[in-house]
Structure formats: structure tokens, C-alpha cells
Amino acid sequence: MKKIIFFVIVIALIATAFIEVDCPICEGKGSIEGSHNMGLVRVLRVEDRIIDSVEDACSGYIVTKARPVIYLNNLGTDKAIGWLKVDLLMHGDTNKPLATQYLKIELEGETSSTVQSLVVFAYYTGDLPNNDLSLRVSPMTGGITDTSCNGSGKVAMNKFWLTKHFKEDIASEIQEQETLEPDMSHGGEGSYEWLVWMELA
């Protein structure tokens, strides 16, 4: 009887690898909502502020937390609403990010702002956590493909719970975006006001 139960469980586990369900990250859409007027948003400077990297004992994934300070400038006249792409890089290797996350931003036209957000990355390398890490931040001008499901909107059932676990874990960690300095309207990058704000004048 025990052998029968064991084989039933094994077969059920194997079957979950072939049954697909809606991805819990994009809710079956395959992508995350797009951006508006982000073409003239510039990332002026980034302070990485990596907090730590630890291995999740249950999944074997490495979880890296960072609280970067990001200096932004909207050169356009219209309000920009969209996403910043945040790549986690191993120092010296800029070609293949270890993981990627996205931060939602809103920035009035001809405005500069400094924001800080908690960003949580989950990735698998087959090695111990690496502390020699850095961040690369860039504005997104189009839609964002959900890398959890590779844009298909579907994940295998055995991957669903892991993906959902990380979504809930990250959601519980992430706090509201914090503006560190008041928005400052000015003539755009290179203007006198911009130089003063960047302490270059």
C-alpha cells in the first residue's frame, strides 16, 4: 500500500511539470503594463547600496536585497509614468544580469527627483552568494516582458508555487517609493539649476 501511495505521489509531481497555469506575476498576460512619456527621462546617478545576499534554504535561490538611491531627471514637458529597469550585475560582468526587477515611477515634466526603494532579487547560480555586486538602472520606454514566464503568461504548476512565494515575499518587503528631495523644476540637464542641484556649479 505504501509503495502504491509513493508511486502515485511521484507521478503526480511529474505531472505538475507538464500542466501549465496562469503566471502569478503577470496574471496570465505575459507582460507588465507599459510606460508613458518615458523617452526623455534620464538616470543621472545611482548609489547601489546593496544590503545583503543570502541563500534561501527551501528553494536554493539566492535573495539579494538593495536599497538604491536613484537620481532622475525628466527633460520632457509632460508627466512621465512608467518603469525603471534595475539589473543586478556581478562586478565586472555587464553583459548578463543575475536578475532584473522593475520600479514604478511618476515624474512631472521638467523635473528632477531623487528616490529610494527597496529592491529584492531572487536568482539561482549554483554557487554561494556573491557580495561583489552592482546595479544598473535604465528607463523603460515600452512594455515589460514578464521574465518569470518568458512572456507566455503560463508557468508549469510545479513552478507556480515558487513564483508565487517570491511574489508574496517581495510584496511584503517592498515599501512605498520614497522621495528624498523635493521635485525641482528647471531648464533640463545642463542648465544652471541642474548644475546647482548636482553640486557642479
**pLDDT class for 180, splitting at 50, 70, 90?**
low
Q: What is the pLDDT of residues 135-175, one digit of tens each?
A: 999 998 876 777 667 778 787 776 666 666 655 554 444 44
Distance CA 12, CA 163 (A): 19
Distance CA 198, CA 201 (A): 8
- Report the range out of 1-5, 85-89, 183-187 with the highest average pLDDT: 85-89
Q: Which three cell numbers stand for residue 65?
A: 536585497
Whole-model pTM? 0.64
Q: What is the pLDDT of residues 48-87, one digit of tens each?
A: 999 999 887 776 788 899 999 999 999 999 999 988 989 9
Percentage of residues in the chain having pLDDT higher than 70: 64
Q: Which three cell numbers stand for residue 177?
A: 517609493
Q: Length of the chain, please?
A: 201
**pLDDT class for 201, splitting at 50, 70, 90?**
very low
Q: Which three cell numbers stand for residue 24?
A: 502569478
Please provide the DSSP assignment of 61-95 as one string: -EEEEE--EEEEEE-SSSPEEEEEEEEEEETTB-S
- Confidence (pLDDT) at 137: 95
The domain locations on the chain are 21-197
